[in-house]
Structure 1
């Protein structure tokens, strides 16, 4: 029995380590998103502020989210509370009337003296949320060709790419409140057993806006004129500050929910990701942050949720008296209780099957380190139940699982810097979509190139100036470098697409590359200039600067020696709003043809430099040299370390063969 417990404990430890591995990119993703938002919020014509919410904004791995959640704070109105209207000097359009029995919900009444458009208001001047959503749907359909439909307070846009891939975005239009409502006072004053969040964080939360979104109470006869409070910005801030084990717990439960807790109706879900977030926030207040056993913590969160469903009361995190499940029937609640109880009973199996795949699959590690060593059946179709059974009865299971746990633990501590460097590079090389979209619009409207470059600088340089206050602590140097390199790349793309190779603009691009010459990681390591020098190779190739290209290649090869992780280049080919990176390769039709059927590809700069070397060898008629370069690409196993490198390797092999046949 004791041995069996030891095996179970070691299995939990393995799961703990895997969860940590899967969430390593959290801070880099959050930092990248913060920069995206800064770029997006430079234009306040229609919106006071735009921000992302949900799993994407929390730094969750991409594969557990089904969409991107975005909130747009409208600039033409804000909400004040009823008490503040007593002096009759209210200048805000809307006065809120909260429902005392459900204080997360409210009605919005048009303030006296404000012009109203009849279709948006009832006979008592209450703003109709239903009419607002109909307007929001029409507005979204006007600006996009994507399929749009109303989903709660959001308009869901579904865009289908040529390769049948889809991207869903939930866009929520909302109003900001002039202050937090009095029903949230308890949150700021209640005793928190774990002393989390700290008073400093609470003060920051108090300064953030809360918002009103267009969705009414469940089962209400007056839903047509009802709205709901939203604390998405505050929730996001708290999750960014959440201790890592609690974040790991939230990730594990969200992954399990996505895979196992499914409902026929998406409109009336008795259990959702928001309830997981709420539970984890409550538990952060209750359990000391020193807790580091993610699996045990997950069981405690499940127990808390089960108790809430049994008592028919899941309290809103900021408004304790708002019951999030009060509308559910006994039958619905009992079904959720049964599902949660099953998940807790089979937690190891459910966690492993939900997280072991994804962006970086850990299944090969499980097979090599456990199944092969114990000579037991491999995991099939992500079903870990057979593996759990085999481990619990195998005499050497404890030894092998402990060995894997220790190996993962050592890897996390000795190799964590390198792992984080690689993850950070993936996010640093990502497109800053709002800026790229603006550049495309300016180019389509024939804005002069000097003005386009000036506009780009006016967006990016202030972000660089304020970078410490924008990104997560310790990531400012790395993302400063990334932004300078991004500036150089954008200017390069504008020059190529405009067919303008003005020396002044070339000098400007090279100046920004120089400012972003070295990536300094949060752990103090750097990339030995390899990223910048790889971008210079790309720059001179796309600009047709053959005389400078050879030296740039030599400089890159010197800098990249013994450098395991090198920056990437991200290119969008199947997205009309983000094809600037694709169009910048117009000098190389073969390259464009090779990637044209892919929505997005990411090449290591090492792969790009190899490709350019081979193309230059062909250009000079050196077929044997081109073959040697391709052989070197295969010898360095780029197909394994660079996911999309096979595209360029296969393209080069065909190009060389065609060139040889034409001779």
Structure 2
């Protein structure tokens, strides 16, 4: 038997062992999809700030949490959307618009387009509105959004559960229920802007994944704007980051069993690298 053949055989044996170990650790595709569903159901009952809808994001939402993974929860404002172009408002939604001028890719400033009469005195939007005398626009401050909703959520949870430890960490509010159970809440707003997903949909594909059906489905999904700006920007306090959490979850769920295990291994390597840096 040649050395090359022996090497290939050892690689195959290692792959089979790795595949078996990941199955035993709960990282087969079937186990991951079931875990994603169960986590979503379980955390529906976490206390949430009034006026928001909860969405499990990150590794936990995908069903591939590691031992040190947080539970990331996006709280999405109800009855509010942000759009790139005009939207016919029938008095039921607060409509916000994007302003990409002088912002880095993936970020936008947000302006008010249409607020129904019954919501004109919404305490949230009055609290986070900033009038710019140069552009004569009312921008929404991501910094004020974090402060306003973050502190209200702290007061709400302290009132309901005095055994919950609550801290503000950047754009998120971290709730610690026990030494081994904690979650990060990040506020967000629905975003419907076609440019990013259209570019992704129309890119040149050289692989069979994702399928054209998945690409079409993902390209029509909603995005979200999160109240955090580009750290390198002078307008950081007025910028919001664009993300596609549900689209990412859909792409992960479309992976094959082998692909999803490769994804888990990459996450393990990334987590191991973080721990090495912290130890150093």
Please classify the TM superposition score into its range, dividing by the shorter chain length.
0.7 to 0.9
Kept after mapping to 2: 8 A contact 1:26/1:60? no
3-state DSSP class of the match of 1:126? Answer: strand
Equivalent of residue 64 in structure 2, options 51, 55, 60: 60
1:241 aligns with 2:241: no
CA pair 80-106 structure 1, distance change in 2 beyond 3 A: same
Equivalent of residue 102 in structure 1, options 91, 101, 104: 104
Partner of 1:150: 168
Partner of 1:321: none
TM-score, normalisation: structure 1 = 0.35
Alignment gaps of 5+ in structure 1: 265-663
Deviation at 1:115, TM superposition (A): 4.2
Partner of 2:31: 28
Q: Could you tell me how far apart the structure 2 residues matched to 1:241 and 1:253 are?
A: 17
Report 1 or 2 for greater relative contact order, CA contacts < 8 Å, sequence distance ≥ 6: 2
1:134 aligns with 2:147: yes
CA pair 220-206 structure 1, distance change in 2 beyond 3 A: same
Q: Could you tell me how far apart the structure 2 residues matched to 1:88 and 1:59 are?
A: 37
3-state DSSP class of the match of 1:195? Answer: coil
- CA displacement, residues 570-591 of structure 1 (integer Å, 9 cap, x when unaligned): xxxxxxxxxxxxxxxxxxxxxx
- CA displacement, residues 462-488 of structure 1 (integer Å, 9 cap, x when unaligned): xxxxxxxxxxxxxxxxxxxxxxxxxxx
CA pair 260-45 structure 1, distance change in 2 beyond 3 A: closer
- CA displacement, residues 563-612 of structure 1 (integer Å, 9 cap, x when unaligned): xxxxxxxxxxxxxxxxxxxxxxxxxxxxxxxxxxxxxxxxxxxxxxxxxx
1:166 aligns with 2:180: yes
CA pair 57-18 structure 1, distance change in 2 beyond 3 A: farther
Partner of 1:190: 203
3-state DSSP class of the match of 1:242? Answer: coil
Alignment gaps of 5+ in structure 2: 133-137
Deviation at 1:154, TM superposition (A): 2.2
- CA displacement, residues 417-456 of structure 1 (integer Å, 9 cap, x when unaligned): xxxxxxxxxxxxxxxxxxxxxxxxxxxxxxxxxxxxxxxx
Deviation at 1:199, TM superposition (A): 2.2
Q: Could you tell me how far apart the structure 2 residues matched to 1:190 and 1:252 are?
A: 27
Aligned counterparts, 1:481-520, within 5 A: none
Deviation at 1:184, TM superposition (A): 2.6
Count of residue correspondences: 254
Partner of 1:255: 268
- CA displacement, residues 68-114 of structure 1 (integer Å, 9 cap, x when unaligned): 11212111422122x316x8989534211124762310011122554
Deviation at 1:214, TM superposition (A): 0.9
Kept after mapping to 2: 8 A contact 1:78/1:93? yes
Equivalent of residue 230 in structure 1, options 238, 243, 266: 243
Partner of 1:209: 222
Q: Could you tell me how far apart the structure 1 residues matched to 2:203 and 2:126 are?
A: 43
Kept after mapping to 2: 8 A contact 1:103/1:183? no
Kept after mapping to 2: 8 A contact 1:108/1:126? yes
Deviation at 1:35, TM superposition (A): 5.2
Partner of 1:123: 131
3-state DSSP class of the match of 1:16? Answer: helix
Kept after mapping to 2: 8 A contact 1:158/1:169? yes
Kept after mapping to 1: 8 A contact 2:40/2:61? no
CA pair 8-154 structure 1, distance change in 2 beyond 3 A: farther
Aligned counterparts, 1:397-476, within 5 A: none
Partner of 1:51: 55
Q: Could you tell me how far apart the structure 2 residues matched to 1:225 and 1:100 are?
A: 11
TM-score, normalisation: structure 2 = 0.76
3-state DSSP class of the match of 2:130? Answer: coil
3-state DSSP class of the match of 1:236? Answer: helix
Aligned counterparts, 1:505-584, within 5 A: none
3-state DSSP class of the match of 1:202? Answer: helix
Deviation at 1:32, TM superposition (A): 4.5
Q: Could you tell me how far apart the structure 2 residues matched to 1:61 and 1:88 are?
A: 40
Aligned counterparts, 1:619-658, within 5 A: none
Q: Could you tell me how far apart the structure 2 residues matched to 1:226 and 1:30 are?
A: 34
255-264 or 218-227: bigger deviation: 255-264
More strand by share: 2
Deviation at 1:27, TM superposition (A): 2.1
- Between Structure 1 and Structure 2, whose CA radius of gyration is higher? 1
Partner of 2:135: none
- CA displacement, residues 119-161 of structure 1 (integer Å, 9 cap, x when unaligned): 312223211111111123213322154333333432222233x
Equivalent of residue 77 in structure 1, options 69, 80, 97: 80
Q: Could you tell me how far apart the structure 2 residues matched to 1:257 and 1:32 are?
A: 21
More helix by share: 1
Kept after mapping to 1: 8 A contact 2:29/2:257? no
Deviation at 1:230, TM superposition (A): 1.1
CA pair 135-255 structure 1, distance change in 2 beyond 3 A: same
Partner of 2:12: 13
Kept after mapping to 2: 8 A contact 1:156/1:168? yes
CA pair 12-60 structure 1, distance change in 2 beyond 3 A: farther
3-state DSSP class of the match of 2:100? Answer: strand
